[in-house]
């Protein structure tokens, strides 16, 4: 009984409870203002009531479609193409203006639609008086049943959405396709995903991985770079490293070094700069450019004295020792190894300098 009362209460405030009848008058509720009514000095017959409802449906759908189109235009014409630029500003410089645009567009569509609805009522049923629309306890069975049908549709849609989410992340499914070497399928589905929601960096990252596997190296570089530019979490650097790996693989060493130099010059803070310098030193080591790598290691070790928590001195000493060995400088290499061992008794830092590698992030 309680459930039925809730449904009836919802019906009374819904668009389907759109009229009141008395012996000599009819009041039609405004399509966009539940407190506004249009009073006609005659009693509408069922055919006229049905005609009003058909008009309400048309105007409601036009309002929804218009607002939806404005939102889509705002999303795909402004937000998505300029996403990287928008996120560089504080939220109140970007979110508030966009919300204001959406709000005024919504108000404009509602206003124009209301005027049009009123003109149709005037043309079809004659003059009316604007009054306060008062809810009644009378429930029209026809429209009440339609209302329950609409509720059933909404609940069904919600269940479908929940069911889709329960299937798991689409990125996990794409990773499984990569493991099965279905690279063409991955490219096809990620391309669709990019069209729908182009600011999810995972689409580009996974497509870049698949493109590399089918030897579309330029396409892979572009996708990894795009993923890096729009990524907002700790996996952002992974896409940069993957881009560097592809350039390393195709022997575009100069292009890779330019990428390092650009990021180093545009770092937001010193800690980020340290990370890129360290990566560049390892890259130079793998290219055999030991003098340049050594200079960076020297600078990083000086910085590590400034309580830079991410600059692990033992690891830096050990990696610089590897550079010295490649240069044939045994004595300073031994000194660095000794310095590293004195800093930490654990052996975990004694790993070779890693070579560039392509990484598929399996944690998304």
142 belongs to a structural domain = no
Judge if 322 and 223 occupy the same domain: no
Domain with 311, as residue range(s), is 252-364
Lookup result for tokens 């560089």: 88
Total domains in the fold of the chain: 3
Nearest Cα to Cα of residue 290 among 259, 258, 255, 332: 332
Judge if 172 and 116 occupy the same domain: no
Judge if 183 and 232 occupy the same domain: yes
Rounded mean pLDDT of the chain? 88
pLDDT of residue 235: 60
Nearest Cα to Cα of residue 211 among 185, 172, 241: 185
Compute the distance between CA of residue 283 and CA of residue 280 in angstroms, rounded to an integer. Answer: 5
Judge if 318 and 271 occupy the same domain: yes
Judge if 264 and 241 occupy the same domain: no
Average pLDDT score over residue span 180-209: 93
Compute the distance between CA of residue 223 and CA of residue 124 in angstroms, rounded to an integer. Answer: 58
pLDDT of residue 219: 96
Average pLDDT score over residue span 154-170: 81
Interior angle at CA 22, CA 143 and CA 2, nearest 5:
45
259 belongs to a structural domain = yes
Judge if 260 and 274 occupy the same domain: yes
Taking the CA atoms of 22, 24, 29 and 33 in sequence, report the sign of the dihedral they define.
Answer: negative
The C-alpha torsion from 178 through 204 and 95 to 164, rounded to 10°, is -30
Q: 3-state DSSP call for residue 182?
A: coil
2 belongs to a structural domain = no
Residue 350 per-residue DSSP state: -
360 belongs to a structural domain = yes
143 belongs to a structural domain = no
Q: 3-state DSSP call for residue 316?
A: helix
Compute the distance between CA of residue 189 and CA of residue 193 in angstroms, rounded to an integer. Answer: 6
Average pLDDT score over residue span 147-151: 90
Average pLDDT score over residue span 115-121: 93
Judge if 331 and 274 occupy the same domain: yes
pLDDT tens for residues 76-102? Answer: 888 888 877 777 777 778 888 888 999
pLDDT of residue 296: 96
Judge if 295 and 350 occupy the same domain: yes
b/e sequence 253-277, b meaning 16+ C-beta within 10 Å: eeebbebbeebbeeeeeeeebbbbb
pLDDT tens for residues 57-76? Answer: 999 899 989 999 999 998 88
Q: 3-state DSSP call for residue 32?
A: coil
What angle, 0 to 180 degrees and rounded to 10, lies between the N-to-C axes of helices 270-287 and 313-326?
Answer: 20
What are the Cα distances from residue 28, in Å, to 109, 117, 145, 224, 233? 21, 11, 19, 58, 53
Judge if 275 and 305 occupy the same domain: yes
pLDDT tens for residues 260-300? Answer: 999 999 988 888 899 999 999 999 999 999 999 999 999 99
162 belongs to a structural domain = no
pLDDT of residue 364: 46
Judge if 30 and 117 occupy the same domain: yes
Point out the domain boundary residue: 198, 226, 251.
251
CATH of the domain at 219: 1.25.40.10
Q: pTM (2 decimals)?
A: 0.72
- Out of 171-185, 232-246, 344-358, pick the least confident: 344-358
Point out the domain boundary residue: 134, 152, 184.
134
Point out the domain boundary residue: 251, 277, 310.
251
Neighbours of 222 (CB within 10 A): 17
Nearest Cα to Cα of residue 80 among 182, 184, 203, 188: 203
Average pLDDT score over residue span 312-327: 93
Judge if 121 and 172 occupy the same domain: no
Judge if 305 and 348 occupy the same domain: yes
Nearest Cα to Cα of residue 304 among 314, 290, 291, 319: 314
């Amino acid at each position: 009984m309680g459930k039925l009362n809730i449904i009836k209460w919802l019906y009374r405030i819904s668009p389907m409870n759109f009229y009141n009848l008395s012996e000599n008058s009819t009041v039609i509720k405004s399509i966009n203002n539940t407190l506004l009514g249009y009073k006609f000095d005659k009693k509408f017959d069922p055919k006229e009531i049905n005609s009003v409802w058909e008009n309400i449906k048309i105007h409601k759908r036009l309002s929804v479609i218009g607002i939806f189109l404005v939102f889509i235009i705002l999303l795909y014409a402004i937000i998505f193409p300029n996403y990287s630029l928008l996120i560089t500003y504080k939220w109140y410089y970007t979110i508030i203006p966009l919300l204001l645009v959406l709000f005024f567009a919504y108000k404009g569509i509602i206003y124009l639609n209301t005027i049009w609805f009123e003109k149709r009522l005037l043309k079809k049923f004659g003059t009316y008086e604007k009054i306060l629309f008062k809810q009644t306890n009378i429930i029209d069975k026809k429209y009440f049943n339609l209302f329950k049908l609409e509720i059933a549709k909404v609940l069904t849609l919600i269940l479908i959405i929940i069911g889709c989410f329960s299937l798991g992340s689409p990125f996990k499914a794409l990773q499984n396709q990569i493991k099965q070497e279905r690279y063409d399928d991955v490219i096809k589905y990620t391309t669709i995903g990019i069209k729908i929601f182009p600011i999810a960096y995972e689409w580009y990252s996974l497509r870049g991985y698949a493109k590399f596997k089918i030897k579309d190296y330029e396409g892979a570089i572009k996708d990894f770079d795009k993923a890096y530019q729009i990524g907002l979490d700790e996996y952002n650097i992974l896409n940069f490293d993957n881009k560097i790996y592809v350039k390393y693989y195709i022997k575009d060493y100069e292009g890779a070094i330019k990428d390092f130099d650009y990021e180093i010059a545009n770092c937001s803070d010193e800690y980020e700069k340290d990370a890129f310098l360290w990566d560049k030193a390892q890259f130079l080591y793998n290219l055999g450019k030991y003098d340049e790598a050594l200079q960076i290691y020297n600078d990083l070790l000086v910085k590590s004295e400034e309580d830079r928590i991410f600059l692990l001195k033992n690891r830096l000493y050990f990696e610089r020792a590897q550079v010295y060995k490649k240069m044939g400088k045994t004595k300073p290499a031994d000194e660095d190894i000794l310095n590293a061992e004195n800093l930490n008794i654990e052996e975990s830092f004694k790993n070779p300098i890693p070579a560039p590698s392509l990484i598929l992030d399996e944690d998304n």
